[in-house]
Amino acid sequence: MRALPALVMSLVLLSTHAARAEPSDLPSLRARLEAARSKVPESVHTSIVHLLDVAERIAGKFPTQAVEWRTRAQKHVEAAERGEDLYPAQRGQIVSRGYRSPISQRVQGYTVYVPPDYTPDQKWPLMIVLHGGSSNGNLFLGVVLGNNMDWKTYDAHLWDRYEPRWSPPFIVAAPDGYGQVLWRWMGEQDVLDVVDDIARNYSVDSERVVLSGLSNGGVGAYAIGSRHASRFSVVQAMAGAPSWLQYAGEGSVAAVEAKLMRPWSAMDLAENWHNTDFRYYHGTVDPGPMRPPYVRALDARLEKAAIPHTGKWFEAGHDLLYIVHRHGKVYGELKDVRRKSKPSEVHLVSGDYRAARQHWLELTRFVQYPDLARVVATLKDDRLAIATENAAALAVHLAEAPSAGARLTVEVDGTRVYEGPRDALGSRLDLVKRARWERGVPDAAGALEKRPGLSGPLTDPYYGRMVHVYGTKRPENAAQLKQLAEKSARGLPLWLWTVDQEVVPDSAVTPELARSAHLVLYGTPGDNAVLDRVAPKLPIRVDGAAVTLGATRVEAKGVGTRFVYPNPEAPERYVVVWTAPTLDAVRRGMNLPDFVPDYVVYDGASTSARARLVPGKAKPPARGFFGARWELTTP
């Protein structure tokens, strides 16, 4: 009976905290912050905005934690009013910061720990840790730094405040990755942006940046760590899947989706690890979707290709974090491992312009995109030898390559393209394949071509600013088109969190907006003024009850299309066209899977339910890639 008053008091306190956590007083804190904006660095202002945003966003579901976030924000606001930045004094703590990204109108947050003895006059190693499927950056960094808990309880503790249980000699940071997008597209960009933001705010040793992840984060470590291998001193993947084809089910992946998945699969990109310390950790009885045979297949691939690596197996299941980290001992093993900054031999495998550089070697044009290209370059003594597959243009960043004498001979696929003084080449050597390899860059004749930043597929605009444009020409359809645009603006891939993109009516699209953003255009013919204006210049269009691709006419119940194309009114940006003969068919386009090529023509059967990674048993009538000049190829 004596426990009852304590219980009642706890409920009263919880109720009081919940009331205090209501966002009603947050506007005043935001106003005070804006008034003090000029007194602190912009990065500090942005980070405080993130604290306020979290306090507001979680107040309903996590009232007690919201109080803590609001209190933390208030302390930062009060310091800003005094012209003080609290972050430098928060050594030895787990804190939250934020930065602005064009991907979302919200501030993108991440969580970071700085060692107690941190000083900016020396360079510190950085470890990036990628969370799994039931976590976020805030919770995961707490767990990484010793706050043990069962993953089944994660959901109740996503926004708790954590104290580190040990003090590693590393800066350790956990991005949010935009939720559960499994570190693809905007999730990948978040990782790279967080590395850059930490380097702007702390003294980071760029030669000692470790990428680590568990479960879904292990999938991310495999993918990002192979796509951008030369950025990291160590890549360690725990309990992840090294191939998206395996993860999706190889028997269910058609050729078009395989082309999309291979540029994200370590199994296909493993050669990029020739100069990177790669380590994997896996449980022999892992029961989840990251099955042990997947990793054994990767290990065999690495052994066959003589790619250096370290693999460790445990008689354990899926949650390997505590086993691998061993109460923080892993940091001592990694802190002195340095990135190979100027290797004499560079291997580059890529099927994506977003990940087409390793060390001093860059692929600037593919022959056939997005098929994988392979380039191996060896710089020894006074000779640079390059061998290529599916490459049409390259850049050699000589300023970042090893020194090899005053003269240089350059050969590409057996063709000698240069022999003379190395200094005469400057800091960058551009190579292009015409009748044969020669010095130079691809012709810029003004015609459309697939190139970095304008290559497709439909997921490529996810890396930048997207503005969702709904049609208003038919008032009876405008409300539903706006609703679809608003839903899409919160994230097209499944399980995407905390993305809030702009939604505007067609009447609000100006030339300036078109030049600064990718436009997503929604509507049937006659709905959307912008879409109607550009439709005659697009290779796919709605014609009556059908969707036409050149001479091919697709007429079926629920037919519609979604495709990406250079904006005819602003060719440096994309339009993503989302159209169909009927409004219901336009809405059905939301049920397309995550991995989509340049264009998809769907019907009612293929969009009866939301697909996750690839189409289900009912395949779309047509899907594929435009050609090198954005021409329509045979579906």
pLDDT tens-digit readout, 54-103? 999 999 999 999 999 999 999 999 999 999 999 999 999 999 999 999 99
For residue 590, the Cα-to-chain-centroid distance in whole angstroms is 21
Q: Provide the pLDDT for residue 7.
A: 30
Residue pair 43/72 in contact by the 8 Å Cβ criterion: no
Count CB-CB contacts under 10 A for residue 134. 16
8 A C-beta contact, residue 377 and residue 396: yes
Whose CA is closest to 107, among 500, 504, 487?
500
The residues of the chain scoring below 50 in pLDDT are 1-23
- Spatial contact of 403 and 427, defined as CB atoms under 8 Å apart: no
pLDDT at residue number 445? 61
Amino acid 403: pLDDT: 84
Nearest-10 Cα torsion for 395, 401, 406, 411: -40
Which residues are 426's β-sheet partners? none
Model confidence pLDDT, tens digit, residues 403-448: 878 999 999 999 999 999 999 999 999 999 999 999 999 987 667 8
Q: Are 410 and 440 in contact (CB under 8 A)?
A: no
* pTM (whole model) above 0.85: yes
Query: Which amino acid does the sequence have at 331?
Result: Y
Per DSSP bridges, beta strands 383-389 and 391-397 are: unpaired
Q: Are 239 and 350 in contact (CB under 8 A)?
A: no
| pLDDT number for residue 635 | 55
Q: Which of 418, 420, 424, 384 is nearest to 401 (CA)?
A: 384
Phi, psi for residue 163 in degrees, rounded to 5: -110, 140
Residues in the chain: 635
Q: What are the pLDDT digits (tens) for 211-230?
A: 999 999 999 999 999 999 99
* Token reading at 538: 């697009």
29 token code pair: 């804190």
Query: What does the alpha-carbon distance between residue 269 and residue 262 come to, in Å, rounded to a whole number?
Result: 8
d(CA 98, CA 174): 12
Q: What is the DSSP string of 559-599?
A: -EEEEEEEETTEEEEEEEEEE-SSHHHHHHGGG--S---SE
CB atoms within 10 A of CB 333: 11
Are the C-beta atoms of 226 and 270 separated by less than 8 Å? yes
d(CA 141, CA 199): 18
**Res 634: pLDDT:** 66
Contact 225, 269 (CB under 8 A): no
Instruction: Residue 557: count other Cβ atoms within 10 Å of its Cβ.
Output: 10
What is 221-286 written as a DSSP string?
A: HHHHHHHTGGG-SEEEEES--S-HHHHH-GGG--HHHHHHHGGG-HHHHGGGGGGSEEEEEEETT-
pLDDT for 48 equals 98
In whole angstroms, give the CA distance from residue 214 to residue 290: 11
Q: What is the pLDDT of residue 12?
A: 36
Give 204's contacts (C-beta < 8 A, 6+ positions apart). 123, 124, 125, 126, 171, 198
